[in-house]
Amino acid sequence: MTLTAAGTDPHRVDAIVDAMARAIEPEAKRLGQMAVEETGYGNVADKRVKNLFNALSVADYLRDIKTLGMLWSDENTKVAAFGEPMGVVAALIPVTNPTSTIIFKVLSAVKAGNAIVCAPHPRGVKCGLETVRIMAEVATGMGAPAGLIQCLDQVTQQGTAELMRHRRTSVVMATGGPAMVKAAYSSGKPTLAVGAGNVPCYVHKSKADDISEVAEQIIVSKCFDYGTACVSEQAVIADREVARDLRHELKLHGGYFCTPAEADRLAAVIFNGPRAMNPERVGQSPAALAQAAGFSVPPRTRVLISEESEIGWQRPLSAEKLNPVLAFYEAKNTDHGIQLSHQIAQFEGWGHTAVVHSNDPDVVARYSAAPTGRVLVNTPAIMGGMGYSTDLEPSFMLGTGTWSGSITSDNVTALHLINIKRVAYECRPWRDIYEQYGEDA
């Protein structure tokens, strides 16, 4: 059932979305606490921020866009566009962001007039159910149909697969690991799914005077929620002219450079093999990761850093790492720095995001040839990619495009959850086609 089908106008939909967002705000910390306790991933302070970003920034964005009814009309072309709901959204929720992703997807789906059924990860059922309960109670209290917003309370792979394939499911929104994304695209339903991200961060020599700010951005972004966001930096590539100072500043801001032996032991606990991230090490603190790898770090360490020179599974730390661990490369020159960055993106990160810190517009233009859907300039990857420190659409679902088999490279929003109907009047005589293209024309 959709809100518009129940006779609710777009203004009523907006009121419900706003009310659900307001209901989440005072619960943001509690939901974050529940997520950390249930999943064992991340930290409460940053989970709270993620929840608030969706309840405030995403909600603010949704308030200003049209999704239902007439979207636009053009008197000259005699075409008008109308937004209509898709129907029922099957929303797959990742264990790394079990509450914030639900907030984002519920607000977006309802803004588009859809019903939504959330399928959380088995390790995120309790916090997922509680997040849905808060939002659903508000919606039904304002007259929304009962059952408009639901969450599976018993989660299995088979059950999630049945949800995606169900005859009443109209579209699938899948956020999660490669297996989940593959299953979503195999469901036979229209699917919005996102792939992995191996985000390179190139620091050009033109940032020499701002190197402390660059280091702080990198550290804050990578340690945010203990690295559980796939949009955070994965590898830093620094020009030789600034590499030494950047290392120093990274250390001052909480970076710990591992010895080669420590880095090898760290890789062994983070990965079980190629393309096999150890789920028990995702979203863990630097101290916990170091302890598991058999070494110790200073008390205020925020990110573990490994000096690397190769890219590929022979050096696992050059891949995506969903924890506060960075690879660090020194580039011989600008060409080499851009080359290394593009290679990182091509290694397990096609289509996602790349970051460049540079004051040279020509370097930014060259760097932007990276095979990614987003190129962020002079900003932390996580804040820029999700649309907080940039004017990208605020989103917790970042498309990776056909580079990685996704249908979109956009920051996914409610506008991706509507069908757009065009009403078009005749604007030129139809018989003219024979005069223009006829045999004797």
pLDDT in tens, 311-369: 999 999 999 999 999 999 999 999 999 999 999 999 988 999 999 999 999 999 999 99
For position 4, what pLDDT does the model report?
44
pLDDT band at residue 404 using 50, 70 and 90 as cut-offs: confident
Closest CA to 55 of 89, 35, 28, 30: 28
Closest CA to 329 of 313, 314, 317, 347: 317
CA distance 149 to 133: 8
- pTM, two decimals, is 0.94
Contact 205, 242 (CB under 8 A): yes
CA distance 277 to 8: 45
201 is catalytic: no
Three-state secondary structure call for residue 183:
helix
For position 8, what pLDDT does the model report?
61
User: Given 151, 230, 258, 427, which residue is catalytic?
Assistant: 230
CA distance 47 to 35: 8
Q: CB neighbours (10 Å) of residue 402?
A: 13
Question: pLDDT at residue 177 above 80?
Answer: no
State phi, psi for 366 to the nearest 5 degrees. Answer: -70, -40
225-261 pLDDT, tens digit each: 999 999 999 999 999 999 999 999 999 999 999 999 9
User: Region 98-126: what's the mean pLDDT?
Assistant: 97
How far is the CA of 240 from the CAs of 97, 151, 214, 364, in angstroms? 37, 51, 15, 18
Contact 150, 117 (CB under 8 A): yes
For position 405, what pLDDT does the model report?
83
Closest CA to 17 of 71, 60, 68: 60
